[in-house]
A = this chain, B = another copy of it.
Amino acid sequence: MHRNSDWDKLSEECGIFGIYGAGYENISSSIYYGLTALQHRGQESAGIAAERDGKMRFHKKMGLVREVFDESILDKMEGDVAIGHVRYSTSGESYEINAQPLVVNYRKQSIALAHNGNLINAKSLREELEEKGSIFQTSTDSEVIAYLMARNYRMGLKEAVKATAGQIEGAFALLIICEGKLIGVRDPNGLRPLSVGVMEGGEYVLSSESCAFDLVGARFLRDVLPGEMVIIDENGLESVVYDKRDTKSLCSFEFVYFARPDSVIDGKSVYMSRIEAGRILAKEHPAVADIVMAVPDSGSVAALGYSQESGIPYAQGLIKNKYLGRTFIQPNQKLREQAVKLKLSVVKEVVKGRSVVLVDDSIVRGTTSARIVAMLKDAGAREIHFRVSSPPVTHSCYFGIDTPDERQLVGAVHSLESVKEIIGVDSLGYISPGGLMESIGMDRSGLCGACFSGNYPMEVPSSGGEFLFEKN
């Protein structure tokens, strides 16, 4: 979906997917299907790189996976190993040149990289590299990583990856093709998910989310661990723990919003965590109401949980248009007010005269929430009790998630009471940080919640979460 500037969500940045399978036919088609299952993680650009016999082929472009590729392109992309990437650009403008995977050549090697996450030391690394004569053609962290790989390469491939992983800080789930091998790396905090699957023929698959395994005929094996890298080649999968600290901080918003409900991350079902969050929310912020309904699709599962716990019947009072997309023409000024109506519409019979519990996953700017509430009131809702399955977002994310400037975070600059009024609801309840942790079933030390707690799992730059290299 093309996001107009006041859309009201955090934005995921990327999904990555890779397969190692010597002689595997149609490897690029399988990457294509895998990326389709990860499309919710990024809709602006898509790309695939595939290698066979030292020859790297790649194709990447702005657009959805199904728009970027057609059969004739896939047919040309044979490979024994392949990786793919979907991207949601974090800057207002976005450029083809930033599409991934990034393919670089270095000493007779072609290296392909696909990265999900954000490095907090990219800027200083970049400056250092520029000091030493590096030039940059994109504004992606991947290019920084590629340089480090090149500089470390004389150590041999495995040591080079280890050294590189040690130099970069922040969030990264990384897929690399080099020397015909498939390498997966997860950052020491495990901020971004990465899991391993295996096909019937023994081919290994790496994916941002487990929901992509089934449709390529793979089954989930395990998660890549924080601080672990896996190297897959004809000898199978080798695991190297390159960082032994025990500092796990998986992004809790993967459960709240980003990941698909049918994924399992680090052992926890996303669906179940959302049901649980809804239940806890019902306990923490009960309401007297006629129905529970969600802002679809992201609020649906938590709303079900709220309904189960509270006993208030669940209804589908909002319908989401399935046919908007990147190329959808946004309404001009005159029709701007009703932009939200193009995306969501009310089932009047459900809400008319009713007292409604409305569940959404999060409130970021609050603008969209306010418009949805207005729509429901127009449709005759008697009372609206807004329930949010994450705590108030108050801080910028530095780990690969697009957050507005902190001054635009309604939860950061307004009290609960004023947010309630801004949004126009009769009551407002956010899940507590503890409740959210409980819903995920990991304890606080295992999860990142910095965007609502301010407790970043590592030191972050003081100046704010803007992205660093937006120049070209």
Q: Is the CB of A363 closer than 8 A to any CB of chain B?
A: no
| Residue of B whose beta carbon sits closest to that of A152 | B133
Give 1 or 0 for each of A315-356: 1 = CB within 8 Å of chain B CB: 110010111110111011011001001100111111000000
Q: In the complex, are the beta carbons of B66 and A327 less than 8 A apart?
A: yes
Q: In the complex, are the beta carbons of B215 and A271 less than 8 A apart?
A: no
Q: In the complex, are the beta carbons of B36 and A324 less than 8 A apart?
A: yes
Chain B residues whose CB sits within 8 angstroms of the CB of A58 once the complex forms = 472
Q: In the complex, are the beta carbons of B135 and A132 less than 8 A apart?
A: no
Query: CB < 8 Å: which of B135, B304, B319 contacts A104?
Result: B135
Q: In the complex, are the beta carbons of B66 and A329 less than 8 A apart?
A: yes
Q: In the complex, are the beta carbons of B314 and A347 less than 8 A apart?
A: no
Chain B residues whose CB sits within 8 angstroms of the CB of A421 once the complex forms = none
Chain B residues whose CB sits within 8 angstroms of the CB of A130 once the complex forms = 106-107, 150
Chain B residues whose CB sits within 8 angstroms of the CB of A271 once the complex forms = 316, 347, 349-350
Number of interface residues of A (CB under 8 A): 89
Query: What's the least CB distance linking A441 to chain B, in Å?
Result: 12
Chain A contact residues, CB within 8 Å of chain B: 25-26, 29, 32-33, 36-37, 39-40, 43, 55-56, 58, 64-67, 69-71, 74, 102-108, 110-111, 127, 130, 132-137, 139, 146-147, 149-151, 211, 214-215, 217, 260-262, 264, 269, 271-272, 297, 300-301, 304, 308, 313-316, 319, 321-325, 327-329, 331-332, 334-335, 338, 341-342, 345-350, 469, 471-472
List 7 tightest A-B contacts by C-beta distance, closest first: A133-B151, A39-B323, A104-B135, A269-B349, A215-B341, A105-B136, A66-B328
